[in-house]
Amino acid sequence: MKIDRRGFLSLGVGAAAGIVVTPLPWKLTDDLSIWTQNWPWTPVPADGEKAYAKSVCSLCPGGCGISVRKVEDRAIKIEGIEGHPVNDGGICILGLSGLQTLYGPTRVKQPLMRSGNRGEGRWQKVDWDTALAEITKRLAEIRKAGQAHTVACVAGSDQGTVPQLLKRFLAAYGSSNFIRTPSIRDSYELAFKTMQGSEASAGFDLFNSDFVLSFGSGVIEGWGSPVYMFRANSELRGKGKIVQIEPRLSNTAAKSDKWVPINPGTEAVLALGLAHEIIKESLYNKEFVEKYAAGFESWEDAKGQKQKGFKDWVLENYWPASVANITGVKPAVIHELAVSFAKASKPVALCGRGQGNTPVSLFESMAIHALNALVGNINQKGGISAVPFADYINWPKAPADAVAEAGLQQPRIDGAQSDPFASRYLLNRVVNAAESGKPYALQALLVWEADPIYTLSGSAAVKAAFDKIPFVVSFSSHMNETAQYADLILPDHFYLERYQDIPTPLGMAVPSISLSRPVVKPQFDTKYTGDVLIQVAKGIGGNLAEAMPWKDYEQCLKETLGDHWDKLNAKGMLIAEQYQPPAWDKAFKTASGKFEFCALTAIGETVSIEGDKESYPLTLIPYDSMRLANGFIGDPPFVIKTVSDRILKKKDIFVEINPETAKQYGLADGKSAVLETPRGSARVRVNVFEGIVPGVIAMPRGLGHKAYDKFLAGKGLNVNEFIGSVEDPVSGLDAAWGIRAKLTIA
Amino acid sequence: MKNEQGHHKTGKKYGMVIDLDKCTGCGACMVACMAENNVPFKEDETNKLDNIMWMRVYRMSNGKPFPDADICYIPRPCMHCEAKHGHSPCVSVCPATATDYSHETGIVSQIYTRCFGCRYCMAACPYHARYFNWWDPVWPEGMKNYLSPDVSPRMRGVVEKCSFCFHRYQLAKDKALTAGHREIEESAYQTACTQACPAGAITFGDLDNPKHAVYKLKHDPRAFRLLERLGTNPKVYYVTDREWVRWMADNYQDQEQKAKG
């Protein structure tokens, strides 16, 4: 067929007209646009009735009020409760990510029994009956063998019904080895005990202070009750001054009115240097020191011997020039700091490095507390006070049979509470005791809301100690490092699924009780740890069953809280609003009835760290960040996402060093280096940072997890693996604030 | 659509004032935003060029040597620019009308289903406030449970950014209407980051309403905005006492100074 010009044109016009008239292209375009908006592979979250459930966050001891938004029975968002005494609407980064940990894959979904080697990660899923039968059998056997005292328990807290139930269970069982995980609480409690004679925790009225002198405390890094401290920090702006004494320009240091860089580990010396200037200039609170303090002036004891008082001791030993030599803080700065601190109307000195997750030596906590005494800001507005422990748990003493009595006669495994200066709990010593089998070999360890394998310094030694304990039980609702290393996991409900009483938030000056209430029903086959204890006690029978007479944990909690139960259910928190810290004449329960400066002069100096200067010319210190959770819960995916690429890049961790140090060792910013300490070595990357004292290497705490999911595991290094525990000879606490180290080109 | 003049008079201008001296760099705002808006996450988030963070906290340094070094954090949501006639840099370049300026609220919207991923808006935005979904979102086992029905999850190939929690505005508006109020109260509409900030550093409200806290705060002599001279007229103000931080609000000033000698 031949196509002429006319035919070609008419065909073209016809085709064009046809395309316009036919619906096909329009239909296709329409379909295409619908199709491109159709994303069946992206989830469509189900809608439904919305409601808010109120509770209290217990991911840390901060005690923030939370309001959880729900759609039907799904929790979709955690928010802070406005007007709540602790957090007033604010909430921290970890609290915000709570739902990722509630629903996420790191949950332990049912009881697990180890089937492979320790830590291998091979588990046999068992039902609760089997799991409870196993723990009952094992504990009954140990008890029968007369080894009741060889069972210990590690818990993240010693306040509230669950820790008290654990303690009670052990007591009836025949062991006094209830041990709380170490933190700055230990140091404060001990300082209060020795200088004030009170069994109490520390409260800080920062909202009303006008001069906060912080010896490395990360007021905005998670120290104390984090959100409460954040709020105080904002409140102080323009009204008061914050001075941060720290080797590193932390966020707290950057936001403070003055950053005083100091050689790490010399905080106590600086505190006494300040005391020297305050005393020399006669700026101390005469009323407090003369009437309510003992051991300030030198005195003659009963034997007629001359005893040196705090005043003479400080004036002789802590001259600004020599203090400057040790601390690296210039004499003029020491003088100015001392004068402005003493002249402020409501000054307060804080102790505890970073988040306060590690204790300090008793010497340090006492030296810093002595400053508070010098300015007379104890139990005063804007100062520090000894907050009594909660008193709502009034169970009768646990009945003891012959086995229990014999067990309780045995010394504690950690030698804690053995003398007036020894701490109440010494988890660091359990490591050595388990390893050496002295004073006796541990037969079983129960772990609740703690992750010692990750959080204790000298991780390798901790693991080796765990290897010597034949039976390790974890109550963790998440597969953390310690759970991974256990023989039996009896998962507790997670904080959003359970009732739990929470005592006074850390660092708050007024006693209170809060109550966590379930926001969602338990997502997995988990059980209250309280219920486990009650059932095991019933299984073993005898005095144990008598010691745990409750039907279940909820009944126990309800009975214990008594009249408070209904109020707590409605309000979430009860504060002793009438509470006033006792006046100075009634505040001190020491032998002299006064604040005792002499307790400080009686004990030794600062703790030196592991390693020799020749082989390890630098000092490694850990640092804390709100964006790196480092307790019994690791970073959820949202939180690790916010970590800077100057801290973590792919799987590499960065350590901070001063440019001068970098130059000295030929290290360049961003480049790899080998970090070596007496405890181990690893490859790191270098972050050259102007905000750090020369000669110091700073490594973030909270990375290097081996447990959890792909979002967290295997990223960076755990600083605890590189730091060895160093015992404070006075208190027994692990007071290691770092370790000697070297950094070389990789 | 053309009746914009009328809207201008009755419309609101929602904006934010962030106190950089209160901001602690804790990152709560970032997570509050991600949790509120179903923002996805992936295994490695250390490449900050491809991670989605509507609210991002940048860390700035004064560049001085030890011990005079100083750092400051600066949270950066979408600035919801209102250049002349509502022609925000991103709005004017979008070929798909996937992003638009609302004269009712002053919020720059992002309509995910319209976006076809050309990323012109990302190139146009001087604040790097826009993010591209290079991958489809994947939530690990169980985590879909917490997704909010108020914000639709996005797919690979579309751009997303801070919406000043626009769904919260809609909810507040519905609530106000049901209750018979014409006005949305200041406290009834707050963004997730503002609400969460533990330091109380963020204030949110109608910048034109003298009754709202932001109105007074934006007139603080210490207040400034980022890259102000571009004329983007951002709705996010910052307040600080630190001169060096104000100076860094325009990161080209340093280079200009050097060029001048």
Is the predicted pLDDT of residue B162 greater than 80, yes or no?
A: yes
From chain A, pick out residues whose CB is under 8 angstroms from the CB of B66: 261, 658-660, 690-694
pTM for the predicted model, two decimal places: 0.94
Please give the tally of structural domains in chain B.
Answer: 1
- Inter-chain CB pairs, A–B, below 8 Å: 194
pLDDT score of B4? 44
CB contact under 8 A, A42 and B73: no
Distance CA A117, CA A123 (A): 10
Is the predicted pLDDT of residue A401 greater than 90, yes or no?
A: yes
From chain A, pick out residues whose CB is under 8 angstroms from the CB of B61: 690-691
pLDDT score of A605? 72
pLDDT score of B10? 67
pLDDT score of B8? 47
The whole domain housing B94 covers: 4-260
Is the predicted pLDDT of residue A534 greater than 50, yes or no?
A: yes
Q: What is the mean pLDDT of residues A16-26?
A: 85
Please list, in sequence order, all residues whose beta carbon lies within 8 angstroms of the beta carbon of residue A323, skipping any fewer than 6 positions away. Answer: A269, A270, A272, A273, A276, A329, A331, A334
CB contact under 8 A, A690 and B65: yes
pLDDT score of B6? 43
Average per-residue pLDDT in chain A? 95
User: Which residue, among A44, A638, A640, A658, would best test binding to B if mutated, counting the most B CBs under 10 Å from its CB?
Assistant: A638
Nearest CA in chain A to B191: A79
pLDDT score of B3? 42
Is the predicted pLDDT of residue B7 greater than 60, yes or no?
A: no
Is the predicted pLDDT of residue B5 greater than 60, yes or no?
A: no
Is the predicted pLDDT of residue A746 greater than 90, yes or no?
A: no
Q: What is the mean pLDDT of residues B181-188?
A: 92
Is the predicted pLDDT of residue B1 greater than 90, yes or no?
A: no
Please, which pLDDT band fits residue B86 given cuts at 50, 70 and 90? Answer: low
Is the predicted pLDDT of residue B110 greater than 90, yes or no?
A: yes
CB contact under 8 A, A36 and B116: yes
Distances, alpha carbon B196 to alpha carbons A517, B27, B28, B193, B201, in Å: 21, 10, 7, 5, 10
Please list, in sequence order, all residues whose beta carbon lies within 8 angstroms of the beta carbon of residue A700, skipping any fewer than 6 positions away. Answer: A622, A623, A624, A625, A628, A647, A653, A716, A719
User: Could you count the other beta carbons within 10 Å of the beta carbon of residue B123?
Assistant: 12
From chain B, pick out residues whose CB is under 8 angstroms from the CB of A637: 41, 140
CB contact under 8 A, A103 and B146: yes
From chain A, pick out residues whose CB is under 8 angstroms from the CB of B28: 90-93, 96, 626
pLDDT digits (tens, 9 = 90+) for A471-487: 999 999 999 999 999 99
| Full set of structural domains in chain A with CATH | 5-36 (no CATH), 112-183+431-535 (3.40.50.740), 200-388+581-601 (3.40.228.10), 618-745 (2.40.40.20)
pLDDT score of A30? 80
Is the predicted pLDDT of residue B2 greater than 50, yes or no?
A: no
* Dihedral (Cα; A654, A656, A660, A663), 10-degree rounding: -10
Helix runs in B11-58, H state only? 28-36
DSSP 8-class letter at A407: H
Residue A685: its H or E element? strand A680-688
| A152: its two tokens | 């210990």
Q: What is the largest CA-CA distance in chain B?
A: 63
User: Which residue, among B31, B62, B116, B131, would best test binding to A if mutated, counting the most A CBs under 10 Å from its CB?
Assistant: B31
Distance CA A124, CA A128 (A): 12
Tracing tokens 């129960």 back to the chain, one arrives at A446
User: Which residue, among A37, A42, A242, would best test binding to B if mutated, counting the most B CBs under 10 Å from its CB?
Assistant: A42
- The domain that holds B25 is classified in CATH as 3.30.70.20
Q: What is the mean pLDDT of residues A62-67?
A: 97
CB contact under 8 A, B59 and A249: no
Are A618 and A738 contacting, i.e. CB atoms less than 8 angstroms apart?
no
User: Could you count the other beta carbons within 10 Å of the beta carbon of residue B187?
Assistant: 10
Q: What is the mean pLDDT of residues A428-438?
A: 93
pLDDT score of A385? 96
